[in-house]
Structure 1
Amino acid sequence: MSRRFAATSAACAAILAAGVALTATTAEAEQPAVLATPSFDFDSPQVVATGLTVPWGLTFLPDGSALAAERNSARVLRLRPGAAPEPVFTVPGVVASGESGLLGLAASPTYAQDNLVYAYFTAANDNRIVRFQLGQQGVTPILTGLAKATIHDGGRIKFGPDGKLYAGVGDAGNTALAQNPQSRNGKILRMNPDGSAPADNPTAGSLVYSLGHRNVQGLAWDAQGRLFATEFGQNTWDEVNHIVAGANYGWPTVEGNSTDPRFRNPIVQWSTAQASPSGAAIAGDTLYAAALRGTRLWTVPLTGDGGAGTPVAELTGQFGRLRTVELGPDGFLWVTTSNRDGRGTPAATDDRVLRFPQTTP
């Protein structure tokens, strides 16, 4: 079925992405009106790159080109539609094993002035965030000492509309860390571009922005500046959460919705077979979540109060495991596959970076 909404800008199409709604549980029985959203043509994929190995982080430069991080090789590749991927940097000190390696990438919001790119990666003894300049050698650490493991390393980093750098940090397989306010694992962190704690963080001197997370791998903001995050569940429920400063999301005490007043409930939960949501992006007022085990792209209509309407699945089974989704400056929705991560069934052209155009109103 399809639903129509008014366009939010001249660049936004006016038709909600069509699809068949699959089973999902939302936090509210009665849903407020869904806000306006653009639409993408998921029947018209354009291939940006092929033959990559686990492209994880994806960010865009002012010239419109993209940078992609290969998890296992530690390479940073410049991507342009119609051109071969161009290796432009290799992050030193990356130690890849299991789910760990070179993970998130984020271009500085002032890249035109400072030429800085930020990366989250697994080193010999920790997970860390560094920054560097393309064409130069070496990296400058801004945050070190995050517990590492072969699972639950988190890794997504993004600059928010406030100019602060946010990081999803997994519990590194040690569930107790998520509820320990002194630990930076099992958290969403918020920091200044130099790694220091902003004065307006929930706890003075702490980078912790929210706690009680198992393994956040998707961060995205809507037009009102609200933060949403996707999170891997354990055996039962995957989540999309509306992130509120200082809030506790319950892991490992609860997974998914609960009646415990100490914890904030997700706005959407899926069974782990349907999702395993990794990257997240917001276009208009729809959140897109790239699903690994679910091998689909979930579209989640957001409501005016920070909740969600009924999720709809796109691309189910068409491209295998989906790792990252981002809205490009070209107006296209970019998606990366993750079929060479040891858990997928790669096609000859995997892994791929695809982009999907907006529909014509």
Structure 2
Amino acid sequence: MSTDSGTPSYVEKGGFDRDTNYIEDRITDDPSSRYPVEPGRYRLVVARACPWANRAIIVRRLLGLEDAISMGVCGPTHDKRSWTFDLDPDGLDPVLKIPRLQDAFLARFPDYPRGITVPAMVEVSTGEVVTNDYPQMTLDFSTEWTRYHREGAPDLYPEALRGEIDEVAELIFHDVNNGVYKCGFAGSQSAYEKAYDALFARLDWLSDRLENQRFLVGDTITEADVRLFTTLARFDPVYHGHFKCNRSKLSEMPVLWAYARDLFQTPGFGDTTDFVHIKSHYYEVHTDINPTGIVPKGPDLSSWLSPHGREALGGRPFGDGTPPPPPKESETVPAEHWA
């Protein structure tokens, strides 16, 4: 199957094994490279439902890259072939003029054998996918596109802290970001319980780390916070019930709940989060887990806007920078989808 957002493959004894072989080409600030940084040349294709794509949306907005990198948004559901542009008039992306993301992958690789995943960077002139390597993509937004960052853009990947950011992000990926999928798509009781224990052990570790510091690394928001946030945002609406990650809800873990609300209420985080798309995707697409396709009505999400008190820990969310301006009207998530 062909989605990014957790379509399973299974390994021995029923464990979930994510295919992490992505197209490794990079867009770099080197004019002699095959894919040099160039405003307007590339289109970021995302789905707001997907946590990996949500990262790219957040980083693009925090850095102010909207004018340099356009964005196409797929709908929350898809078939086995590909994410589709069903939100757009006539079901076509208005820039790429294609109905499904698969077309961009096949334009470059006619026999592409892997999943058609978001986020993906597509070269507008050729209609060909450049990369879907989502972990590298956001780092390159921070380090390769600096000439096109907005005035006041934060440094999400400060050089002096990169080792620690990478270390924390790696732990979060294995036990939390991917850990929830290991629970949800486990094919055996033992594999599920192993993943469940690792997930909540890491969440407890994160709670301890964040109890007396506002952000994961240093006193500002970094790439590590972006990577954790997108899983936390989906925890109660999806992972707690749908993926059986049910020792505790996020709202029952005081430190992480306050931390998540702090980020959610920071421009660029909550206003890029679409809970309607999130719930629609997981509950309607994962029919092996939810064969009826019924989307639960709850939980009540209004408490995401309640006071969090994390300001008392100090820290400077944007460092020496400033919050991003409101999103473009064409990229605004309807308030009823997140507030």
Normalized against structure 2, the TM-score is what? 0.33
TM-score scaled to structure 1, two decimals? 0.32
